[in-house]
């Protein structure tokens, strides 16, 4: 019995860790952390049976085990391969792995559009990060790409199938978390698509978790779409006593000022929902979609987000004064005055609560407030003259 529980050692990129028998290479690499950990687009530790589909986590096994130190001839999916005692694994130290990962990213991007500038997932998209590290500027693919029309699946979720990489995570959430699977992958090969059967809406109280597990922007929150960019919002940890016993009630509020734009489950460093008392912290749709006021929550404080993430930018500064002066940055030029563009910017109108608009914000939403508050003329020519006057006034 003691033998069974004995820890085994595995070396990944020259770092040795001790793990329980049955641990996968990916889980062992996560214990090391940092760049040594292979990316995972389909594996999700909280979803049973996930992994083995995207091939982004491929690694080289340079030695199988102490008992049989022969290398494995092919690269293996680290999310599905369990470690053996004395195994030697290469991830970032292997040229073969880097080459294969570049190829996998090229495949994933065959049909995935590069529409990050207009995609709601931008800034927190795992494929975006992966493309940045492993993608190339061009593509060798010359054939027609798969395209789909956007589909509202249920009142809260929009499916943009063109962006889907068929990782199956959302299907597993439907099956294992929402306990009401009404969607899946229909058809095969180039025609494979995520769809609801007989156009049935996903209206289970835990369906919103599909948005959290989707590694790309294929499933987005209809109550947040186009309301803001994540890097402009401030993530705050918050909790409430949710009536639903399956909901953990612990969330991240994505705020701007006092306004709550979006509510999500809290994520761990691997982008998966955090666990509490050994259980995944899934949240219900009431918490996610209906509690959009700061007063609905007990706010705990700023969410800890990696400094390298675009979302963390400017939010966790230590008190270090920048060395450069504006004069230095401008090559010795001394600006007369800095213009406050916010005084004439429509989108900063404090009378508009963006998160409460029923759809994406549109110019008409601001026209009303402009004509009442700022008296900006509606005729475009007059507006230009008005703006010039404002700029002159600001420049003194």
Please say whether the beta carbons of 89 and 11 come within 8 A: yes
Q: Does 165 bind ligand SF4 (CB under 6 A)?
A: yes
- DSSP sequence for 150-209: -EEETTTEEE-GGG-----HHHHIIIIISS---EEEES-GGG-EEEEGGG-----TTTTH
Q: Does 168 bind ligand SF4 (CB under 6 A)?
A: yes
Which one among 119, 170, 182, 263 touches ligand SF4, defined by CB under 6 A?
Answer: 170
The nearer residue to ligand FES, 53 or 229, going by C-beta atoms, is 53
The binder of 164, among ligand FES, ligand SF4, none, by C-beta within 5 to 8 A per type, is: ligand SF4
Q: How far is CA 280 from CA 52, 182, 241, 267, 305, in A?
A: 21, 22, 17, 10, 19
Please say whether the beta carbons of 393 and 339 come within 8 A: no
Q: Count of H helices and E strands in the chain?
A: 9, 16
Please say whether the beta carbons of 162 and 148 come within 8 A: yes
Q: Does 167 bind ligand SF4 (CB under 6 A)?
A: yes
To ligand FES, the closest distance from the beta carbon of 203 in angstroms equals: 29
| Residue 185 neighbours by CB under 8 Å, 6+ apart | 166, 168, 171, 192, 193, 194
First to last CA, the chain: 82
Question: What 8-state DSSP symbol labels residue 370?
Answer: I
The binder of 53, among ligand FES, ligand SF4, none, by C-beta within 5 to 8 A per type, is: ligand FES
Q: How far is CA 229 from CA 119, 225, 256, in A?
A: 9, 9, 10
Q: Does 30 bind ligand SF4 (CB under 6 A)?
A: no
To ligand FES, the closest distance from the beta carbon of 173 in angstroms equals: 16
Q: Does 47 bind ligand SF4 (CB under 6 A)?
A: no
To ligand FES, the closest distance from the beta carbon of 43 in angstroms equals: 4
Q: Does 312 bind ligand FES (CB under 6 A)?
A: no
Please give the Cα distance from 365 to 358 (Å, whole number).
Answer: 11
Please say whether the beta carbons of 376 and 386 come within 8 A: yes
The binder of 170, among ligand SF4, ligand FES, none, by C-beta within 5 to 8 A per type, is: ligand SF4
Q: Does 41 bind ligand FES (CB under 6 A)?
A: yes
Q: Which part of the chain contacts ligand FES (CB under 6 A), choosing from 47-55, 106-114, 208-216, 309-317?
A: 47-55
To ligand FES, the closest distance from the beta carbon of 322 in angstroms equals: 40
Q: Does 265 bind ligand SF4 (CB under 6 A)?
A: no
Count of residues engaged in binding ligand SF4, rule: CB under 6 A? 14
Which one among 54, 88, 178, 265 touches ligand FES, defined by CB under 6 A?
Answer: 54
Please give the Cα distance from 266 to 280 (Å, whole number).
Answer: 10
Q: Does 52 bind ligand FES (CB under 6 A)?
A: yes
- DSSP sequence for 50-108: --SSS-TTEEEEEE--SS--PPPSS-EETTT-B--TTEEEESTT-HHHHHHHHHHHHHH
To ligand FES, the closest distance from the beta carbon of 363 in angstroms equals: 42
Question: What 8-state DSSP symbol labels residue 293?
Answer: B
Please give the Cα distance from 345 to 387 (Å, whole number).
Answer: 10
Which one among 77, 159, 182, 253 touches ligand FES, defined by CB under 6 A?
Answer: 77
The nearer residue to ligand SF4, 27 or 195, going by C-beta atoms, is 195
The nearer residue to ligand FES, 48 or 378, going by C-beta atoms, is 48
Q: Does 218 bind ligand SF4 (CB under 6 A)?
A: yes
Please say whether the beta carbons of 283 and 209 come within 8 A: yes
Q: Does 247 bind ligand FES (CB under 6 A)?
A: no
Q: Does 28 bind ligand FES (CB under 6 A)?
A: no
Please say whether the beta carbons of 61 and 13 come within 8 A: no
Q: Which part of the chain contacts ligand SF4 (CB under 6 A), choosing from 166-174, 321-329, 364-372, 377-385?
A: 166-174
Which one among 8, 28, 29, 40 touches ligand FES, defined by CB under 6 A?
Answer: 40
Please give the Cα distance from 312 to 303 (Å, whole number).
Answer: 9
The nearer residue to ligand SF4, 83 or 171, going by C-beta atoms, is 171
Q: Does 153 bind ligand SF4 (CB under 6 A)?
A: no
Residues that bind ligand SF4 (CB under 6 A): 164-170, 194, 213-216, 218-219
């Amino acid at each position: 019995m003691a033998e069974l529980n004995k820890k085994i050692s595995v070396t990944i990129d020259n770092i040795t860790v001790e793990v329980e028998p049955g641990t996968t290479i990916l889980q062992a690499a996560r214990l090391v952390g940092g760049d040594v950990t292979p990316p995972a687009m389909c594996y999700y530790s909280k979803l049973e049976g996930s992994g083995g589909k995207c091939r982004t986590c491929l690694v080289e096994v340079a030695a199988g085990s102490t008992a049989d130190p022969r290398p494995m001839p092919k690269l293996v999916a680290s999310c599905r391969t369990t470690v053996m005692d004395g195994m030697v694994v290469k991830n970032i130290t292997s040229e073969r792995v880097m080459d294969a990962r570049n190829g996998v990213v090229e495949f994933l991007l065959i049909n995935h559009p590069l529409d990050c500038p207009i995609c709601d997932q931008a800034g927190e998209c795992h494929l975006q990060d992966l493309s940045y590290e492993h993608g190339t500027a061009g593509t060798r693919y010359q054939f027609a790409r798969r395209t789909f029309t956007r589909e509202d699946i249920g009142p809260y979720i929009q499916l943009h199938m063109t962006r889907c990489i068929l990782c199956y995570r959302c299907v597993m959430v439907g099956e294992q978390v929402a306990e009401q699977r009404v969607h899946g992958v229909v058809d095969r090969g180039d025609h494979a698509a995520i769809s609801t059967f007989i156009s049935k809406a996903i209206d289970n109280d835990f369906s919103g978790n599909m948005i959290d597990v989707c590694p790309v922007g294929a499933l987005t929150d209809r109550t947040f779409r186009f309301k803001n960019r994540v890097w402009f919002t401030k993530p705050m940890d918050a909790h409430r006593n949710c009536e639903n016993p399956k909901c953990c009630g612990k969330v991240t509020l994505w705020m701007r000022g006092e306004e709550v734009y979006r509510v999500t489950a809290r994520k761990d460093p691997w982008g998966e929902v955090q666990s509490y008392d050994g259980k995944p912290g899934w949240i219900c749709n009431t918490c996610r979609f209906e509690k959009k006021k700061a007063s609905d929550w007990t706010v705990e404080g700023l969410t800890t987000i990696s400094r390298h993430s675009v979302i963390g930018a400017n939010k966790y500064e230590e008190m270090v004064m920048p060395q450069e002066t504006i004069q230095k940055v401008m090559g010795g030029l001394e600006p007369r005055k800095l213009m406050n563009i916010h005084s004439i910017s429509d989108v900063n109108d404090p009378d508009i609560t963006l998160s409460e608009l029923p759809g994406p914000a549109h110019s008409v939403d601001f026209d009303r407030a402009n004509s009442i508050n700022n008296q900006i003329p509606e005729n475009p020519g007059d507006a230009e003259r008005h703006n010039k006057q404002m700029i002159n006034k600001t420049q003194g």
